[in-house]
Structure 1
Amino acid sequence: MAARRTEDETPAFLQVLGLENDASAREIRGAYARQLKQIEPAAQPQAFQELREAYEFALHWVAEDAKPAMQAEPATPEGIRQLQHADTQATARAMLEEFKQSMSGQPPRDTEDARLRLRATLDDPQLQDLDARFTFEGGIANLLADGWRPGHQHLFGPAILCFEWRTDRPRLKAYGHAGAIIDKAIGELEIHQTQPAARREEQRDVIRDLRRETPPTHGESRYSTEYMRQVIASYPNWLRVVTNTASLAQWQEDGVVASRQSRSNALRKFGKALGILVKLLLVLVVLGVLGWAWLSEGETMPHGTGLSATEQDHAPGRIVEGTLGLPAASHGDVRK
């Protein structure tokens, strides 16, 4: 390889990448991938643009500097092939890291947004090499199989179409465990799509709720936790890609705590209501006893005969003058 520039000054684009004058293309790609992990393209667009430009300038600089060496030092076909393979692998990994940062920094709004992003990356000239494309495709398979993140539900469909996974399922075997998960997920998606419309809509309610940070309330949920568990058991691989199935365990734990609190609150309310009822019964009992005592006392008191004075004079058993053999006083006696 031709001698690199030996002056002390390091180009600005290499300084951005934290590299020296003798950096290789592989080192440039590695530095780019490392720094890209520390930047969120959506939140730091200027920093991302600066890093991207430094990366492209550095690759161009290395390529131009290497031309005389390639002409002066003949290389074997195998050596050239290995160098090219290493470069394409590094390129694909760097582009994959860039795509992942874009997904996490600003998740796609819908399936069309995800499709346009994926298509734009695949159309990049650096991914036209078959080795680079294979590496990038495997990285997307691993990204999806590793578990749901916001936006993955929109990426799964475009990835199936762009990489032709549905029509060429055997190729997924090349990606090992991740490929096996994606293959099973596609099969489960097809089973879901054969369900009646009403059943699909019920299952979509579960799928949407599994992406929420908090569980649906009792009033919001139109299904039981047991039904959610059944849906997850029916599509374990597909839901692993498009939902956060780990939410179910947390929601169940939260549900147990909430149920205990609800029972405790219900018992406290019942105790208060029971106390009030007992007090009311005691008041009623006291009032009843007082009423009974008052009525009983009224029955033992002497009552009038209810007869007029004349009737009382002639009533049987009444002692009046002229009875019992006693002479009645005459008017004359009185006058005397």
Structure 2
Amino acid sequence: MTLPWYFDVLGLPAHADGIAVRRAYAAAIRHMDPATDPDAFQHLRRAYEAARARCEQMDTAATTSGEASAGGPALAASGAMGGAADKEDKPSPEESPALPVDYTVTLAWRFAADVGARRAEGIPRMLDDILAELRTQYIDAPGQFEEHLIDLLGLQRIAHRAEVFAAAETRFHWNEVGHLAALGQRGGWVDVVLSQREAWLTLAADRRQTWLELFARAEARLDNALLRHWPELAKLNERFPAWLSLYLSRETLQAWRMGFDTQSAAAPKSSYRRMGRSAAVVLAVIGVVGLASVAVNDLLRSPSLSPMSFLSASFSGDTPRRCMELYMELDKPDAFAGKQPDEVDALKARAHHCQRAGHWRAQTSSSPSLSGTDVMPR
């Protein structure tokens, strides 16, 4: 006997039961995106519905006829269907009876699309509307939708997962004893998320808030400031992987880790990192004020020269009297006429130093004489 096409699609033998059919379907759908390949998804869904209907017919026939073999009920069911099962046995899906896609699957994907297009604040109301619609359908519709929703959350095929999870938790009573156990592996995943959330809440509130803000930034765009947080994030992800999956996609986590590794690998090649922050500040000042290379080399060769002493040495001659002289010089309309850009930068840097020292002003009668001895800074 030819293997029924729907068992062939699901990769099952002819004697597969309903449990095997559900497991095979759940495994196959994890490797498929209905949004990008709707035809393949509908073909898989038709196979699932046909296989499930066949198993139910076999179970019913076995109950009524008392036959123990799998072949007897199948033949009896075929006769009751008026030859419909014979058509299903053909390998070509085009010749099989057209079975509609499960309404709850369509509703779940429609909900996922709506969530991605709207604000997170509207998710509870959207879910309430969906459940109200489901209650007008067959009795198992809400439960089947719940299973599809958990799949969307676990596979990260829906936006605003944390908000969706919170809304679904209350509406599907995930905290009730025994409910999650009835959901099988899906319920086990939800239970893990809830347990990790309880552990997450033991962290300091300000720390949790900071990390949630970083997660939102990372989902929008990863930058160098975020990459440096990877070591601590990696530890968090080891403790709360299921809970964090509601906030960070697998793609973001992978990009975060790879970005940090790349940044760390490049760090030893950076001259700024080799010299350290203090030396980098020194070089930045050198570039701004445009000091002569000979003087710079002399300063850097001094083993006892600290960055602060270097900065002080750069402007050591700018006493209050000289600051006033500089003020008078730069107060002229043509103060920078005929000067090179490096000279202009150096004068501006000196003026900034004088201003910070409190000496950036014109000479007054109480000011020290320009011809007299320099007054030491206060």
TM-score of the pair, normalised by structure 1: 0.47
Which of 1 and 2 has greater Rg? 1
TM-score of the pair, normalised by structure 2: 0.43
Larger RCO (CA under 8 A, 6+ residues apart): 1
